[in-house]
Amino acid sequence: MTTEKDVFEAVNPATEEVGETYERHGEVEVDGILSEADETFESWRARRIQERESMLAEAADVLRDRKREYAETMTREMGKPVTQAVAEVEKCAWVCDYYAENAAEHLQDGRIGGEPGTKTYARYEPLGVVLAVMPWNYPFWQVFRFAAPSLAAGNVGVLKHASNVPGCALAIEDVFDRAGFPEGAFSALLVDSGAVEGVIRDDRVRAVTLTGSNPAGEAVASTAGEEVKKTVLELGGSDPFVVLGDADVEAAAETAAQARNLNSGQSCIAAKRHIVHEDVYEGFVDAFVEEVEDLTVGDPTEEDTDVGPQARGDLRDGLHEQVRASVEAGATVETGGEMPDSGGYYYPPTVLTDVPEGCPAANEEVFGPVAAVFRVEDEDEALELANSSQYGLGASVWTDDLERGERLTGRIEAGMTFVNSLVRSDPRLPFGGVKKSGYGRELSADGIREFTNKKTVWIQEAGR
């Protein structure tokens, strides 16, 4: 008999109603999944890379053919506005296409000059079973940006997804099944977070990638370090959005509203701290607030919804507590900031100004549709504030002087810095952070090589 503790419940954050339930995997099932993955690796790594690329292209086709179905699963489980969910599935197809077209090139042997009469080069070999611990906020994209390059390289993947998106985890497994990948090439583990340590310590698992909170990253890195297993961590972010005195204020404000509230504000690379030169501060705040107030908050299944609910009730409540504490410390609410009376885990897009140092909006990662705006006197003060965070994921600089903008990218402590654009992930570009935002890189050539053994090969004739 199945008990309540044996299942994951998918709660619709827009209605607070329980939808599907999914049985947890027990120890025997976990062991079977890891055994199958380990056995599959030996045959999968031996396949010609062109075969693996071809299957990724098939996965892209599956995603495009069933994008509405997968998008609606995301919307039901974590509240993403459905048009953004469709775009997320399309982006997953893009990353599959990218590695279907470029994996062989990224993994080709690198010739290295050695001694006369020798052949020396480096080649990239897969590691084996890679455990992916993934979050709920981009429940398809976060997985595919790991899975596409890792599978193309010849690894196999095991996914421990967030407990509130079990349907998404099984849907992703289904994508690879439909695309013709062998059993065990990619599998979902429906387990609690408490089971992760044991899976990492299992000898069949060779590496771990995690996207999530800093405490989760610290725990995973600690366990993997004890086992001497490779890790890639993409953790929190408190991205600065720097608007200099010569910036196009209207363009900056329009993009800032999008960058802060995309995915209902639940994004590591969202613009969170808006650092604005005093010469354009008033104009930016007025335009920014107007753009934010024009966003449509509502039912995520409706095509015109810009901002849906927060993914869980506790996340919404924690977000409001950060706003409340920041206001008590002296911050001013320009718009939003009030808990709605209606059902669902909704929170209004909020703009805070006069944000004092030390309050949550200034020092913590605010994971929801809440923007903090800071006034600065000059470029140096803007950079000092931008770099004052413990995080270093992304950053955005706004200026009409492109040479100045490019120069400033070298002074900002971040894994990615964009000039006159919101921070984004792109299969063609390396993605990752520094400081408390993690280490390692995903996507591009760097991402596919993270979970490979870069093996040096030296060949010379006998007797030389």
Q: How far is CA 156 from CA 127, 138, 139, in A?
A: 9, 21, 19
Contact present, 108 and 449 (Cβ < 8 Å)? no
Q: Is 234 marked active-site?
A: yes
Q: Please give the distance of CA 235 from its chain centroid, rounded to a whole number.
A: 8
Residue with tokens 């950060």: 322
Closest CA to 306 of 318, 297, 293: 297
What pairing do the DSSP bridges indicate for beta strands 391-392 and 434-435? Answer: antiparallel
Catalytically annotated residue among 36, 58, 234, 413: 234
Instruction: Give CA–CA dist 148/263, Å, rounded.
Output: 22
Q: Is 268 marked active-site?
A: yes
Q: How far is CA 16 from CA 38, 79, 233, 342, 345, in A?
A: 39, 10, 31, 11, 8
Catalytically annotated residue among 96, 168, 268, 359: 268
355: CB partners within 8 A, 6+ apart: 326, 330, 331, 361, 362, 372, 373, 374
- Residues serving a catalytic function are 234, 268
